[in-house]
Chains A and B, each alone.
Chain A
Amino acid sequence: MAATTSAYDPGPPPGPVPAAPRAALLVLADGRFPAGGHAHSGGVEEAVAARRVVDGATLEAFCRGRLHTAGLVAAALAAAAALGTDPVALDRAADARTPSPALRATARRLGRQLLRTARATWPHPELDALASAFPRGAHQPVVLGAVVRAAGLDGADAAHCAAYESVSGPASAAVRLLGLDPCDATRVLAAVAPAVDRTGAEAVRAALRVPESGTGALPAASAPLLEIGAEAHAGWPVRLFAS
Chain B
Amino acid sequence: MHLHHDTEPHGHHGAASGGGHPPVRPDGTRRALRVGLGGPVGSGKTATVAALCGALRDELSLAVVTNDIYTREDAEFLLREGVLAPERISAVETGACPHTAIRDDISANLEAVEDLEDANGPLDLVLVESGGDNLTATFSRGLVDAQIFVIDVAGGDDVPRKGGPGITTADLLVVNKTDLAPYVGADLARMAADARLRRGGLPVVLQSLRAPDGVREVAAWVGARRAAWVAHP
Interface residues of A, Cβ cutoff 8 Å to B = 32, 34-41, 109, 112-114, 116-117, 119-120, 173, 176, 237-242
Contact = CB atoms under 8 A, between A and B. Distances in A.
A241 B19 contact: no
A238 B71 contact: yes
B95 A40 contact: yes
A120 B93 CA distance: 23
B77 interface: no
15 contacts: A34-B106, A38-B95, A38-B105, A39-B95, A39-B97, A39-B101, A112-B111, A113-B108, A116-B19, A119-B19, A176-B95, A238-B70, A240-B69, A241-B93, A241-B95
B95 A113 contact: no
A243 to B, nearest CB: 9
B120 to A, nearest CB: 17
Given A35-B105, A38-B100, A239-B70, A116 B110 contact: yes
A11 to B, nearest CB: 42
Contacts of B147: none
Interface of B: 17-19, 69-71, 92-97, 100-101, 104-108, 110-111
A32 B176 CA distance: 34
Most A Cβ at <10 Å: residue of B18, B19, B97: B19
A112 B18 CA distance: 14
A41 B92 CA distance: 15
Contacts, number: 62
A39 B94 CA distance: 5
A225 B111 CA distance: 30
A38 B71 contact: no
A239 B93 CA distance: 9
Contacts of A40: 95
A37 B93 CA distance: 11
A34 B95 contact: no
Contacts of B105: 32, 34-38
Given A38-B105, A116-B111, 13 more contacts: A32-B105, A35-B105, A36-B107, A38-B104, A39-B101, A113-B107, A114-B107, A116-B110, A239-B93, A240-B69, A241-B95, A241-B96, A242-B93
B175 to A, nearest CB: 31
A120 B19 contact: yes
